[in-house]
Amino acid sequence: MTVEETSGGVHGVPSAHVAAFVVVTLAVSVIVAAVTISDTVSNATTVPIMVTPALTAIVLRRLQGRSVRQTVVGSLRGTTLRSAVFAVAFPVVFIATAAGVALATGLGSYDPGGGVFAYSGPVFLFPVFLLIVGVVTYGEELGWRGYLLPELSDRIGPVAATASVGVVWALYHFPALYFGAQATGLGDPLTVAAIQMGAVFTVAAFPASYSYFLSNGSVLPPVALHLTWNLLNPLVLGNVYTNVEGFVAGQVILISGEGLLGIAVGVVPLVVVAVLVHRRTWFGTDASVSEA
């Protein structure tokens, strides 16, 4: 089979490969969560699940004739200033807005001693910590935005592709959320998982994809958005995986950016970003999207 490489997808990729990516990532998520979660959701769960999309994408790209080096290096090129600014600014503004709404409505209260930051070591080692968690986050984004998004965009257009990736991405979170809720007592496991899956789609799916489209085919902006969110949301609004409150204290599943408040606040940005994606506003010159 002859395939034609672009900065995003590889034209001529069999649909069976795309389906295999979805099946493998979802299956591994279920197996790892079921085996590793007992009393909380730890790195033993999150790290294997998060690196699976990248490993799967690399294997599939290798089968399609692209070397590991080509896949990885190609995914790191093409970041633009606009994509980088959006990637960092969106989660910061969103979390600040949600925190303001929680405090203004009384859903949350300020607890100066609350919140657990993901890093507690020496300051001079913080860049090393960022590099490590950045690599793990890249493990997700190379798969979602570096493989599945461009492949689907070539087939069905950027809006439908973004929505489809969002649905798969939400399903991928289900096992850890379900078993995590059972372990931590956050609430009814099905309800908790459904709420957080809704938040993944509403809050993050379109902004993460848009940060990719703003670049010239780089997954670094989605990595930056994802990483910024994962560091700030648990600290400020609470962690839905471990049921630990942030420094805006309250019922975590209610006020977290990955809870009901996140869904409510996220509706407007979802619509706005979906329109921007539909209009291809400020898309990078090398973004691999069809006119479907």
Indicate the residue type of 171: L
7 pLDDT above the threshold of 50: no
pLDDT band at 203 (very low <50, low <70, confident <90, very high): very high
pLDDT tens, position by position, 122-159: 999 999 999 999 999 999 999 999 999 999 999 999 99
* Dihedral angle sign, alpha carbons of residues 268, 279, 286, 288: positive
Q: What is the model's pLDDT at position 5?
A: 44
pTM: 0.90
Average pLDDT over residues 194-214: 96
Question: Angle formed by the axes of helices 81-105 and 206-214, to 10°?
Answer: 160
Q: Residues 239, 172: contact at Cβ < 8 Å?
A: no
For residues 146 and 76, what is the distance between their CA atoms, to the nearest angstrom? 10
CB atoms within 10 A of CB 120: 7
Q: Residues 244, 101: contact at Cβ < 8 Å?
A: no
Half-sphere exposure of residue 187: CA atoms within 13 angstroms, side-chain side: 17
Closest to 226 in 3D by CA, of 126, 139, 289, 156: 139
Alpha helices (runs of H) in 148-284, residue ranges in sequence order: 149-156, 158-184, 189-199, 206-214, 220-237, 252-255, 260-278
Can you give the residue ranges of every domain in the chain? 4-278
36: which strand partners? none
Q: What is the model's pLDDT at position 285?
A: 67
Q: What is the model's pLDDT at position 187?
A: 83
Give, as one character, the DSSP assignment of residue 4.
E
Q: What is the model's pLDDT at position 186?
A: 80
pLDDT tens, position by position, 159-202: 999 999 999 999 999 999 999 989 888 889 999 999 999 999 99
Residue/partner pairs of 60-68 with CB below 8 Å, 24 or more apart: 60/13, 60/17, 60/20, 60/21, 60/147, 61/10, 61/147, 63/17, 64/3, 64/10, 64/13, 64/17, 65/3, 65/10, 66/5, 66/10
250 class by beta-carbon count within 10 Å (0-12 exposed, 13-18 middle, 19+ buried): buried
